[in-house]
C-alpha cells in the first residue's frame, strides 16, 4: 500500500504530487472519468518535453485532436509510473498542472480519505480506528474503464438511474433524459444557468437544478444540486437515452472515505450519518 497526502484545487477536486523527469512535485487532479493522463501546456513548456503523436481526446464537450508530450520518469509521490504520452491543454482550463487519468488508475485500488486528506493506492478502504458511522459496498459495471453504478434511484418513486463516479468534475452533471424526468416532479426550486468548461476550453450551457432525493445502494442523498447538459461522456458511454448522472466532487466530498476498486468493479462509501 502507498499512502500519500493530497491537496485540493480551487474547485475542491483532489490533487496529488507528481514529479516528471526529476522535477516537481506538481499538483495533478485525480480524475476517474478521464481516459488519459493530461499535462498543462505551460508545465510542458517549462519541462521542455519531447513531442509525441497526435491522439483523440474525449472531453466534456466532445472529441478533440491533441498533440501529446512524452513524460519521462513519471512519479506520483515517489511511486514510479510507466512513461506516458500525455495530451496537453491550457492550465486555466485544467485547473491544475495536470490530470491523473484512467490509464494510471484503472489497475489500482484507490482509497480517497477526505477526513484525513490522504489517498492510498493498492489499498482496501478502512476508516480510522475510532470512526463511528456507516458504510456500504456498491457493485459497479465497467464502461470503457469507468465505474458505473446501477443500484441507484432518483426521486420519491426511486426511479432507476445510472451513476458514473467522476472525481474530476466540480459539479454533478445529469443528462437531458434525466432532466426531463426531474422537471416532471413538483416542488423544484428555480432553475439557474451555468457554463461548463472542458479541458480544451469549449463552453457548454447547463441548467442548474436542485434534485430532492438520490439513492445509491441503501444510502440517501438529499437536496442534490445538479447541472444538466448532454455532455459528451453520456454519448461515449451509450447513456444518452438512459437516466444518467456523473457524480462529482460536490457530492463525493460529503463522505468520509471512498474506496474505488477498478479490477473488482466495486465502490465502498463511508459516511458519519445518513444525511450524506
Question: Is CATH 3.40.50.1370 the classification given to domain 134-271?
Answer: no
Q: pLDDT tens, 184-215? A: 764 454 568 888 888 888 888 888 888 888 99
Who wins on pLDDT, 201 or 164?
164
**Which pLDDT score is estimated for 156?**
80
**Which pLDDT score is estimated for 30?**
95
Within the chain, which residue ranges are assigned CATH 2.40.70.10? 2-105, 134-271
DSSP letters for the chain? -EEEE-EE-TT--EEEEEEETTEEEEEEEE-TT-SS-EEEHHHHHHHTPPEEEEEEEE-SS-EEEEEEEEE-SEEETTEEE--EEEEEE-HHHHSSSEEE-HHHHTT-EEEEETTTTEEEES------TT---EEEEEEEEEETTEEEE-SEEETTTTEE-EEEE-TT-SSEEE-HHHHHHHHTSSS----EEEEEE-TTS-EEEEEEEEEEEEEETTEEEEEEEEEE---HHHHHTT-SSS-EEEE-HHHHTTSSEEEEETTTTEEEEEESSTT-
Q: Which fold has domain 2-105?
A: Cathepsin D, subunit A; domain 1 (2.40.70)
**Which pLDDT score is estimated for 274?**
44
Amino acid at each position: 500500500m502507498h499512502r500519500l497526502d493530497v491537496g485540493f484545487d480551487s474547485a475542491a477536486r483532489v490533487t496529488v504530487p507528481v514529479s516528471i523527469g526529476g522535477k516537481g512535485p506538481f499538483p495533478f487532479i485525480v480524475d476517474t472519468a478521464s481516459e488519459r493522463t493530461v499535462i498543462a501546456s505551460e508545465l510542458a513548456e517549462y519541462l521542455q518535453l519531447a513531442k509525441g503523436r497526435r491522439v483523440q481526446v474525449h472531453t466534456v464537450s466532445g472529441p478533440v485532436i491533441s498533440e501529446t508530450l512524452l513524460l519521462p520518469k513519471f512519479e506520483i509521490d515517489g511511486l514510479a509510473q510507466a512513461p506516458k504520452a500525455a495530451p496537453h491543454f491550457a492550465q486555466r482550463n485544467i485547473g491544475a498542472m495536470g490530470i491523473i487519468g484512467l490509464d494510471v488508475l484503472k489497475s489500482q485500488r484507490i482509497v480517497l480519505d477526505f477526513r484525513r486528506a490522504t489517498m492510498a493506492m493498492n489499498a482496501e478502504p478502512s476508516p480510522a480506528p475510532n470512526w463511528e458511522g456507516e458504510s456500504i459496498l456498491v457493485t459497479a459495471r465497467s464502461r470503457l474503464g469507468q465505474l458505473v453504478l446501477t443500484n441507484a434511484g432518483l426521486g420519491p418513486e426511486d426511479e432507476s438511474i445510472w451513476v458514473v463516479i467522476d472525481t474530476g468534475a466540480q459539479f454533478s452533471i445529469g443528462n437531458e433524459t434525466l432532466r426531463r424526468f426531474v422537471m416532471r416532479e413538483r416542488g423544484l426550486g428555480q432553475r439557474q444557468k451555468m457554463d461548463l468548461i472542458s479541458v480544451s476550453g469549449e463552453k457548454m450551457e447547463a441548467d442548474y437544478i436542485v434534485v430532492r432525493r438520490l439513492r445509491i445502494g441503501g444510502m440517501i442523498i438529499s437536496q442534490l444540486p445538479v447541472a444538466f447538459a448532454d455532455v459528451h461522456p453520456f454519448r461515449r458511454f451509450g447513456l444518452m437515452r438512459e437516466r444518467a448522472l456523473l457524480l462529482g466532487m460536490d457530492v463525493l466530498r460529503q463522505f468520509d472515505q471512498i474506496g474505488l476498486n477498478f479490477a473488482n468493479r466495486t465502490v465502498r462509501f463511508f459516511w458519519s450519518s445518513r444525511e450524506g
